[in-house]
Structure 1
Amino acid sequence: MSLRLTLLFLLLPLAAPASPASPAVPPALPEPAAEAAPAPPAPRVLLVTTLGEIMLELDAAAAPRTVENFLAYARDGHYNGTIFHRVVPGLLVQAGGFTPDLQAKPTRAPVPNEAGNGLSNQRGSIAAARDRGVSDSATTQFFINLADNPAFDRRDESSPYTSGYAVFGRVVQGMDVIERIAAVPTGSQGPFNGWVPATPVVIERVQLLEPTSP
C-alpha cells in the first residue's frame, strides 16, 4: 500500500459498532388523580332555651376562626344563662352577650371578620354580631336571620361599614322556636332602646353534639 493510501485510510472515521435494537418503551401510564381531602365534620350545637330547643350546624370550612371562637365560649359555659336581648320581627334575633338583668358578660379578644366566605345571610343562618363601624370586632354575640338579609353580606372590603357580617352556620332544627322568640313582645330596657323581650328568653344551656359527616 502506498504511503498516500495508508494516510487516507488512517484519516477515515471509524464506523460505530452495530448496537442491538433497543426494546420498545411502553407509554407511561397516567398518574392517578389525587383524591380531594375530605371536608371536616360539621360541628353541631344545641341551644336549650326557655321557649324550646334550637340545633345549629356550624361551617368550620367556611368560617374556621368564627366557629372555633363560638365553640370555645360554648365549652366554657359562657352562653348558659344569657338571653336573646335583641328581637326584631322579620329581621333577626340576637343573643350571647347579656344576662337577664342586662349585665354584659366578659369577653376575650375579638376575631377577624370572615364575611365574604361564600355564605350569605339567608333565613335560618347564624352570623357573628360585631360593632357596626369596626369590622374585626366580633366576640360572643351572634344573630339568627329571620329573613334573607343580603344587605348584611360583604359588599366592599375597603370600607368597614360594608364589610359584612360573617355567617358561620345555620339552623337545622328549631326555626319554629326562633319564630316564637320573634313573636315575644319587646320594648326598651336599661341602655337598650326597643327590641328587648319584655319576658326574658333565656339560653339555659348550650350542648355540643357529635359532628356530622359532610
Structure 2
Amino acid sequence: MFARRALLGLAAALALSTAAPAQTQAQTQAQAQAPNPRVRIETAEGPIVLELYADKAPKTVANYLKYVDRGLFDGASFYRASKPPGYAPNDYGVIQGGLQNDPKKVLPPVAHEPTTQTGIKHVSGVISMGRHAPGTAQADWFIVIGDQDYLDADPKDPKKTPGFAAFGKVVEGMDVAQTILGKPVDPKAGTGAMKGEMLVKPVRIVRVRRVQ
C-alpha cells in the first residue's frame, strides 16, 4: 500500500513538473502578443489618442508612461509650433509639449533609442522625444505633422546624426494636432532652435491617461 501511494505521488509530481514549462511558455506568448498601450491626451482643443510602440521602443515608452501614470503631464501644455515657411499654416511642422524641464516634475533622462534601432520613422503623426544630446530626453516630446525624415538617425553614420527617438503614433485626433500647429507664434519668443516658434497662447494639456 505504501509503495502504491509513493508511486501515485511520484506520478503527480512528474505531471506538475511537465505542466509547468507549458504554462510558462503560454504566459510568455500571451505577454508577447499583448497590445501596445494607448494614451489619451486631453487638450483645450480636443483629445489626441496615441498608440505607444512598447514592442519597438520599450525604454522610451516606459519613461513616457511613468509621467502618465503619475499624472505629471496634467496641467502641462503644447507650447511650441515649428512650421517652416512655404507651407500652409497647419500642414507641415511639429508641435511640442511637455513640462519644459520643470525641476519639480522631471524624472531622470532616458537612454536614446534611435530610429536605426527601433525602425520607427518620423512620418506624419509620429510622436518623438525632444532632447539636447542623445540620452538627455526627459519630459518634452513632439508630434510630427507631415513626413520629416531629417529627424531620423542617419543609417550610414548614426553617431554623427543620431536623430530623435520616435516611440508611437497618433491614432485619433490629428485634426487637433493640426489646429495646434496653426496657432499664432511669437516671432520674438524662444531661444536657439525655438526662436520664433513659441505659441502666443500655449494650449493647455488638461490630463493624460492610459486608454483602458
TM range (shorter): 0.7 to 0.9
Give the partner amino acid of 2:43.
T
User: Residue 87 of structure 1 corresponds to which residue in structure 2?
Assistant: 81
Give the partner amino acid of 2:201.
T
User: Residue 197 of structure 1 corresponds to which residue in structure 2?
Assistant: 199
Which ranges in structure 1 are unaligned for 5 or more consecutive residues?
A: 1-33
- Rounded to whole Å, the distance in 2 between the matches of 1:175 and 1:61 is 23
CA contact (8 A) 1:130 1:138 kept: yes
User: Residue 20 of structure 1 corresponds to which residue in structure 2?
Assistant: none
- Rounded to whole Å, the distance in 2 between the matches of 1:158 and 1:83 is 32
- Partner deviation per Cα, 1:10-40 (whole Å, 9 max, x = no partner): xxxxxxxxxxxxxxxxxxxxxxxx9994433
Displacement of 1:77 after TM fit? 1.3
Give the partner amino acid of 1:56.
L
Root-mean-square deviation (CA), in Å? 2.1
Are residue 40 (structure 1) and residue 42 (structure 2) matched? Answer: no
CA contact (8 A) 1:47 1:55 kept: yes
User: Residue 108 of structure 2 corresponds to which residue in structure 1?
Assistant: 109
- Partner deviation per Cα, 1:124-166 (whole Å, 9 max, x = no partner): 00011111xx11111111100011111111112222xx10111
Name the one with the larger helix percent.
Answer: 2
- 1:1-214 pair list within 5 angstroms: 37=29, 38-89=32-83, 90-98=92-100, 106-115=105-114, 116=116, 117-131=118-132, 134-155=133-154, 156-159=157-160, 162-187=161-186, 188-189=188-189, 193-210=195-212
Give the TM-score of the pair, scaled to structure 2.
0.74
- Partner deviation per Cα, 1:160-211 (whole Å, 9 max, x = no partner): xx1011110000000000010011101133656311111220101011112x
Displacement of 1:106 after TM fit? 3.4
CA contact (8 A) 2:36 2:51 kept: yes
- More off after superposition, 164-173 vs 84-93: 84-93
SS in structure 2 at match of 1:194: coil
Give the partner amino acid of 1:97.
L
**What number of residue pairs does the alignment pair up?**
170
- Rounded to whole Å, the distance in 1 between the matches of 2:100 and 2:134 is 21
- Rounded to whole Å, the distance in 1 between the matches of 2:180 and 2:127 is 15
SS in structure 1 at match of 2:178: helix
CA contact (8 A) 1:83 1:95 kept: yes
User: Residue 28 of structure 1 corresponds to which residue in structure 2?
Assistant: none
User: Residue 22 of structure 2 corresponds to which residue in structure 1?
Assistant: none
Which ranges in structure 2 are unaligned for 5 or more consecutive residues?
A: 1-24, 84-91
- Rounded to whole Å, the distance in 2 between the matches of 1:78 and 1:98 is 12
